[in-house]
Amino acid sequence: MGGASNAGQSSRLFDTYVRMPVSLVRGQGPWLFDDQGRRYLDALSGIAVCSLGHAHPRLAEVIADQAATLLHTANIVRIPQQEALANALCDISGLDRAFIANSGAEAIECALKLARRHAHARGIEKPAILVASDSFHGRTLAALSASGNAAIQAGFGPLVDGFVRVPFGDLEAASAAFEANPDIVAALIEPIQGEGGVRPAPSGYLAGLRALCDRQQALLMLDEIQTGMARTGKWFAFQHEPGLMPDVMTVAKALGNGIPIGACLARESVAHLLPAGSHGTTFGGNPLACRVGLEVIEIMREQAIPERAAAMGELLKQELEAGLSDVPGVVEIRGKGLMMGIELAEPVTELKDQAMAKGLIINITRGNTIRLLPPLIVDREQVAQIAAIVIELIKTRFQA
Ligand SMILES: *Cc1c(COP(=O)(O)O)cnc(C)c1O
């Protein structure tokens, strides 16, 4: 019993996940430990969540303190931690208002509801929202309907309608869609597609969408759930494009460093589309989650984590490019900051188990792309270690 493997043991959980036969029971910084005491370097951060690493002492302290003080009141009263978090999020993003939810998908639902309200306020009864191929926005019915992924939609029809899909990164296609459909009231886009294979929007794409949205009074809504909170070397990925501002933005994943939380941010005039009674959540914005989110932002500020992610990301990219320059099977190395993808010529899902056996946790998206999302606190030595193991795995796989 116990042991490194729970494969073969009966579990009464839904079969919704293919899980590696490993139980991780403890973490420290960028390190994770299994129930056999084996140590792993984390190059995934629980899918871009634990950006400050595991068992962070300051987060552990505020969690314990808040738990001993007050966990929940519901949104029938003012929640000072929620107001402070909204201020901090607006500060780092340049947006004006925040709705605090519990997850990414819920932040997306809020954004989609804003788009619908925006349409109805303009007298558009059958509005459409522009979305991209290969996008991922979450697993609730509306979020999976917005996603460009047949696998997560299969068997769940009828899907929520009102989405117009265009190829990601193709500004002409977006322009044609706007022209053909005056009822497009918003565009929902990831600045770098995460689940879609770590694909950065081509430069100028977001600015081009901004102009198209402006021409048609549509909202530019950016899904920064994976790219946000310093991951790409800025607080938010859209900030790599000088002068660009979205109307709506969703955040989640790293905001709570493991405590569930999500947020939908908006410009003042857009936020007003959801007045009292029009939207809500029981758990969202509770004192615990908000206190943690606030502490995450404070730590990231004090320790210049966005700048650190940029520098370590540059180093990771250099190491990967140097080590893989003449390796067959490597199609492309792409990404920004510490969100890096290595597209390979063939499906390589077995590489994540091989990495695990070498003490490194990675992830594969779209079957053929290694995705690296290490905690943003990794040092130079750990970056070199991640690159060395990944390079060795790829060489072994493609030079055999
Ligand atoms: C993870 C993710 C979501 C969904 O977030 P959940 O917290 O799993 O609901 C939405 N959009 C993007 C870009 C994501 O990476």
Average pLDDT over residues 189-217: 97
Number of the ligand 1 atom closest to the C-alpha atom of 195:
15
Question: Residue 114 pLDDT > 70, yes or no?
Answer: yes
Contact call for residues 260 and 103 (beta carbons, < 8 A) = yes
| Ligand 1 mutation target, pool 47, 144, 225, most atoms within 8 A of CB | 225
381 pLDDT band, cuts 50/70/90, is very high
pLDDT above 70 coverage of the chain, percent: 98
Q: Which atom of ligand 1 is nearest to the CA of 226?
A: 15
Question: Would you place residue 73 in the very low, low, confident or very high pLDDT band (cuts 50, 70, 90)?
Answer: very high
Closest ligand 1 atom to the C-alpha of 223?
Answer: 13
Q: In what order do the strands lie in the sheet with 97-101?
A: 97-101, 262-266, 248-251, 219-223, 184-189, 128-132, 163-166
Ligand 1 center from residue 136 Cα (angstroms) = 7
pLDDT for residue 9: 59
Domain-by-domain residue ranges, the chain?
Answer: 24-48+305-399, 60-302
Measured distance CA(14)–CA(332) in Å, rounded: 36
Neighbour tally for 68: CB within 10 Å: 8
Q: How far is the CA of 223 from the centre of ligand 1 (A)?
A: 8
Q: Give mean pLDDT, residues 265-271.
A: 98
The rounded Å distance from CA 137 to ligand 1 centre is 5
Which token pair is 263? 């947020």
Give the active site residues.
136, 223, 253
- Do residues 180 and 128 touch, judged by C-beta distance below 8 A? no
| Average pLDDT estimate for 50-57 | 98
d(CA 341, CA 320): 10
User: Counting Cβ atoms within 10 Å, is residue 136 exposed (0-12), middle (13-18) or buried (19+)?
Assistant: buried
pLDDT of 5 higher than 70: no
**Which class in CATH covers the domain with range 60-302?**
alpha beta
pLDDT digits (tens, 9 = 90+) for 272-325: 999 999 999 999 999 999 999 999 999 999 999 999 999 999 999 999 999 999
Task: Decide if pLDDT at 222 tops 60.
Answer: yes
Distance (Å, whole) CA 132 – CA 369:
19
Confidence grade of residue 399 (pLDDT, cut at 50, 70, 90): confident
Show the ligand 1 pocket: residues with CB < 6 angstroms.
103-105, 108, 136-138, 190, 194, 223, 225-226, 252-253
Chain centroid, CA 17 distance in Å: 19
Which residue has the CA at smallest separation from atom 7 of ligand 1? 104
Tell me if 126 sits within 8 A of 162, measured CB to CB: yes
13 burial level (CB within 10 Å; 0-12, 13-18, 19+) = exposed
Using 50, 70 and 90 to split pLDDT, how confident is the model at 10? confident
Closest to 169 in 3D by CA, of 136, 134, 203, 202: 202
b/e map 252-290, b = 16+ CB within 10 Å: bbbbbbbbbbbbbbbbeebbebbeeeebebebbbbbbbb
11-34: pLDDT as tens digits: 999 999 999 999 999 999 999 999
pLDDT level of residue 1 (50, 70, 90 thresholds): very low
How far is Cα 246 from Cα 95, in angstroms, rounded to an integer? Answer: 8
Distance 138 CA to ligand 1 centre (A): 5
Matching residue, tokens 């629980």 = 46
Tokens of 156: 């769940």
Given this structure, which CATH class describes domain 24-48+305-399?
A: alpha beta
CA 65 to centroid of ligand 1, rounded, Å: 29
Q: State the closest ligand 1 atom to the C-alpha of 106, by its place in the atom list counted from 1.
A: 9
Q: Is the pLDDT of residue 8 over 70?
A: no
Percent of residues, the chain, with pLDDT higher than 90? 96
Mean pLDDT of all residues belonging to the chain: 96
Q: Whose CA is nearest to atom 15 of ligand 1?
A: 226
Question: Is pLDDT of 2 > 50?
Answer: no
* Ligand 1 atom index nearest CA of 253: 7
Best residue among 136, 222, 232 to mutate for probing ligand 1's pocket (most ligand atoms within 8 Å of CB) is 136
140 alpha carbon – ligand 1 mean position (Å) = 10
Residue 229 banded pLDDT, cuts 50, 70, 90: very high
User: Given ligand 1 and candidates 137, 227, 251, 255, which is best to mutate, with the most ligand atoms within 8 Å of its CB?
Assistant: 137
